[in-house]
Structure 1
Amino acid sequence: MEPPECTPAVKDLIRQAAQQALDAPQSWFDEIDEAAFSASDMERIADDPALRAFTVRSTHALLRYWAAANVADPGAYVPPLVDDLTSTAQSMVYRGHTEANVDAYRLGQNVAWRRWMKIAFALTSNIDDLRDMLDVTAQTIGTFVDATISALTAEIASERDRMTRGREAARLDAVSGLIAGGRVDRASAELIPGYRLDQVHTAIVVWTTDPSPRLSELERTVDDLAKHLGAAGVVRIVASAGTVWGWLGGVTQDRLRDVGRIVDARTDWQIAIGSTGPGLDGFRTSHLDAVRTQHMMARLDTDHSVGTFADVEGVLLLAASPDQANRFVAHTLGPLETGYPELREAVRAYLAEQCNASKAADRLFTHRNTLLRRIKRADELLPRTVADNALNIGMALEIRHWRGATSTAD
């Protein structure tokens, strides 16, 4: 960016003022510090002796850096001071401050600017030179502060990401060790604080194939499920760029029956829910079952948002070979494989309710006679009727239910 144009007289004014700022008494800096620490969200920094001292040193360094740059090259744009940027970001992130406080910078800048104007008015009575000097330095100060805030914000984000990835990697290693059969030691227990292993566990896997996954939304899904199901505890681990593992404590299978109702079918992610079991063995087994459910949903390219191990355990066995499963579905269902979804659901509900038409109708929120008409129509389309081939039709319908619409037989 080209610096503002200014006359030699204006440059000389800027140089003189910048030198006075460099030689300013400590009371000037105290006034700027007081203004900066009065900003919202700065109370925790002000109350932390180490971080307060660090912030004061950084603020004074920034002011002196800008003033020294204008003594050397009056009116030129000053690049952000990045010498201690990493250590500043680390100090802030390690103490729980995850963003630069813009208000603090602006309040400090306002006080410094008032001091700067007093210096300028004391140096000259030439209105034109004074106007140009203040115009040029207002631009360079504003650009310098904006660039400094942007640089610090970016460094804080990078440091937060590094720290998060390091912590998540350690948690993932510890949990992976438990899943693999490792013993529970103090280190692994401390990485999942507040979550008891001596309770009933239900594991979940939330994942997406989106090329730009939003992990915060996947993590929030775990938390929302825990809240909806009344979990006694919850822990979640970032397993990869698009996958989050979770465990819900104290949730029974009965509570999981309506879990699909709280998940928006339009979301870009899917949820696999494992079995439920007590203690460390339940923690491990439930997760392995959730992963098996996830793999089956991915392998069959299902369009369902939620799958539970309890619902798909039989399909896991039947669909171990996708090609064989596709052929079995095609031969068993005939035209029902690719069309007539209402008929498929009618037969599936009818078989799930042990051929009780009234219960099946209630399950589908329809009239019993409507259900029976659909069963009769399905019999006309099936290679073998429901009565003659109930077991195979039931298995084929389960596979077809979980399989995506794009998977077809050879």
Structure 2
Amino acid sequence: MVSREPSPRVRELIREAARIALEPSHEWLEEYDQATLAATPPIPERAELAKVISRANRANLHHFALSHLRNPGEPVAPNLGIQPLRMARELMRLGLERLTIDIYRIGQNVAWQRWTEIAFSLTTDPDELHGLLDVPFRSVSTFIDATLAGITAQMELEHDELTRNIAAERRQIADLILDRAPLDREHAQARLDYPLDRSHVAAILWSDQHDADHRYLDDAAAAFGHALGCPRPLTVIAGVDTRWVWVNDAAALDSDQIHEALADTPHVRVAIGAPAPGIEGFRRSHLDAHATRQMLIRLRSPHRVASFPDVEMVALLTENFDGANDFIKNTLGDFEAASPELHLAMRTFIKRNCNVSRAAHQLHMHRNSLVHRLETAQRLLPRSLDDNALEVAVALNALQWRGASNNDPPPPFAE
């Protein structure tokens, strides 16, 4: 059904209804406020929030009625004035932004009841009543939808800007700490919302995926914090695909638990520093995580999670990439290409002070089976294990972290 333009008579009636609506009684305004406030739950700041909501709703009433007084029957522009935006900001600050739609819809229903009463007080003619009700009804629905859309867009812009400002400030303060620049510790703690006088575990999370949106890294950072018993880790955006994270008073590192926490973000990799106390520990643990990440990238390691205490020796050894490859090849010889099972058997045997029984127990295998594997390994080694156990252990540890592709030079490292 095609809507018709309102007649001059209907326009005049709309203008008169708008004039009356602009002068509501005190009792009706109280009723209006109570109805809209019923959408908000009890909160400590309710009294102040009630004033903000009341002013916003009354501003919408005035905006809508004034528009029809000036241009009866015409579409009403969205109200993106001071009061509606302030209400949206307050609700967002309190985590109640979802209530905006409820408040607007309840306000719309109550105001429409008032408009209907005014309409029936102005005319009893069916055609005039139809126009007086139909045109503003369609107008108010469009007005509310447009106002909500405009406010939502504005809040998203403000939220993005605030997030960028906070992220930039956090990065700046973190850089000052890492550079040992002079700074006020109390001010830094307040701005970071993170205590600096405790023990810290730092981590670097990054993704090798060339995605346009890396916000899942923030989810991974939060999951990493929870895995270490810290529900509010400090997260710093170091780049589009990189996050620096610090955790206070972390629980003992459990690689399996961290892998489980990151199960929903399979493209994220984590390099973890050693625990260290105070501001210097904040810095030291981050540098450990940095060295760990460099090692993983340098070696093209397939591992997703690595901690500095586990890889410190390998990280130092492999700073010279070509030299590390030569060391592995010269120390292991043909054993470099042996199966992972043989490598594991040899690593465990050396770690258990070359005690076959202890190593077999840890590997959950028969002693004779382990002896057979060790004899096979010995035949592949270029020198006797008796004279070379330490070097073999170091070479196997480095080999464990190195990726399969190791002939080409390592990729350039970027933070």
Q: TM-score range by the shorter chain?
A: 0.7 to 0.9
2:196 is equivalent to residue 200 of structure 1: no
The Cα offsets for residues 124-182 of structure 1, whole Å up to 9 and x where unpaired, read as 33445544554443333222212222322232233233333333433333333223223
Aligned to 2:191: 191
Query: 1:110: which partner in 2?
Result: 109
**Once the 2 structures are TM-superposed, how far is the Cα of residue 281 of structure 1 from its aligned partner?**
2.8
Distance 1:94 1:350, change over 3 A: same
Percent sequence identity over matched residues? 34
Closer, same or farther in 2 for the Cα pair 1:7/1:262, shift >3 Å? same
The 2-side partners of 1:251 and 1:151 are apart by 44
Offset of residue 316 of structure 1: 1.0
**CA gap 1:132/1:372 in 2 versus in 1, 3 angstroms:** farther
Moved more, 123-132 or 309-318: 123-132
Match of 1:237 among 192, 211, 235: 235
Match of 2:412 in 1: none
State how far apart, in whole Å, the 1-side matches of 2:396 and 2:131 are: 81
Equivalent in 211, 226, 230 of residue 228 of structure 2:
226
**Is residue 56–residue 83 contact of structure 2 (8 Å, CA) maintained in 1?**
no
Q: CA RMSD in A?
A: 3.6
Deviation at 1:388, TM superposition (A): 6.6
* CA distance in 1 between partners of 2:334 and 2:77 (Å): 71
Residues 41, 216 of structure 1: alpha-carbon distance in 2 compared, 3 angstrom cutoff: farther
Shift of the 122–345 alpha-carbon distance from structure 1 to 2, 3 Å rule, reads: farther
Note if contact 1:99-1:156 (Cα within 8 Å) is conserved in structure 2: no
Aligned match of 2:345:
346
SS of structure 2 residue aligned to 1:261:
helix
One-letter amino acid of the structure 1 residue matched with residue 47 of structure 2: D
Aligned partner of residue 401 in structure 1, secondary structure: helix
**Cα distance, 1:98–1:401 mapped onto 2, change above 3 Å:** farther
- Judge conservation of contact 2:202–2:247 (CA < 8 Å) in 1: yes
Provide the rounded CA distance (Å) in 1 between the counterparts of 2:159 and 2:64: 28
Q: Residues 137 and 234 of structure 1: is their aligned pair in 2 closer, same or farther, counting only changes over 3 Å? A: closer
With 69-78 and 316-325 compared, the bigger mean Cα shift is at 69-78
Q: Is the 8 A contact 1:85 1:152 kept in 2?
A: no
Higher mean C-alpha deviation, range 146-155 or range 363-372: 363-372
Task: Give the TM-score normalised by the residue count of structure 1.
Answer: 0.81
Q: Using the TM superposition, give the Cα deviation of residue 224 of structure 1 relative to its aligned residue in structure 2, in angstroms.
A: 0.6
The CA deviation at 1:389 is 5.0
Equivalent pairs, count: 398
Aligned mate of 2:256, from 255, 260, 264: 260
> Does the aligned pair in 1 maintain the 2:89–2:155 contact within 8 Å?
no
Q: Distance in 1 between matches of 2:18 and 2:295?
A: 69
Q: Distance in 2 between matches of 1:81 and 1:370?
A: 80
Report how far residue 113 of structure 1 moved: 1.5
Q: Is the 8 A contact 1:277 1:285 kept in 2?
A: yes
Query: Quick one: distance in 2 between partners of 1:335 and 1:175?
Result: 47
How much has 1:311 moved relative to structure 2? 0.7
Distance 1:73 1:406 in 2: 74
Residue number among 81, 84, 95 corresponding to 1:83 in the alignment: 81
Q: One-letter code of the match for 1:107? A: I
Q: Is the 8 A contact 1:89 1:156 kept in 2?
A: no
Amino acid at match of 2:255: V
Query: Match of 1:275, SS?
Result: coil
Residues in 1 aligned to 2:45 and 2:130: alpha-carbon distance in whole angstroms: 38
Partner residue, 1:38 = 38
Q: Distance in 2 between matches of 1:363 and 1:128?
A: 91
Give me the whole-angstrom Cα distance separating, in 2, the residues matched to 1:80 and 1:329.
Answer: 71
CA drift at 1:53: 3.6
Q: Which amino acid aligns with 1:187?
A: H
The 2-side partners of 1:86 and 1:201 are apart by 43
Offset of residue 307 of structure 1: 0.9
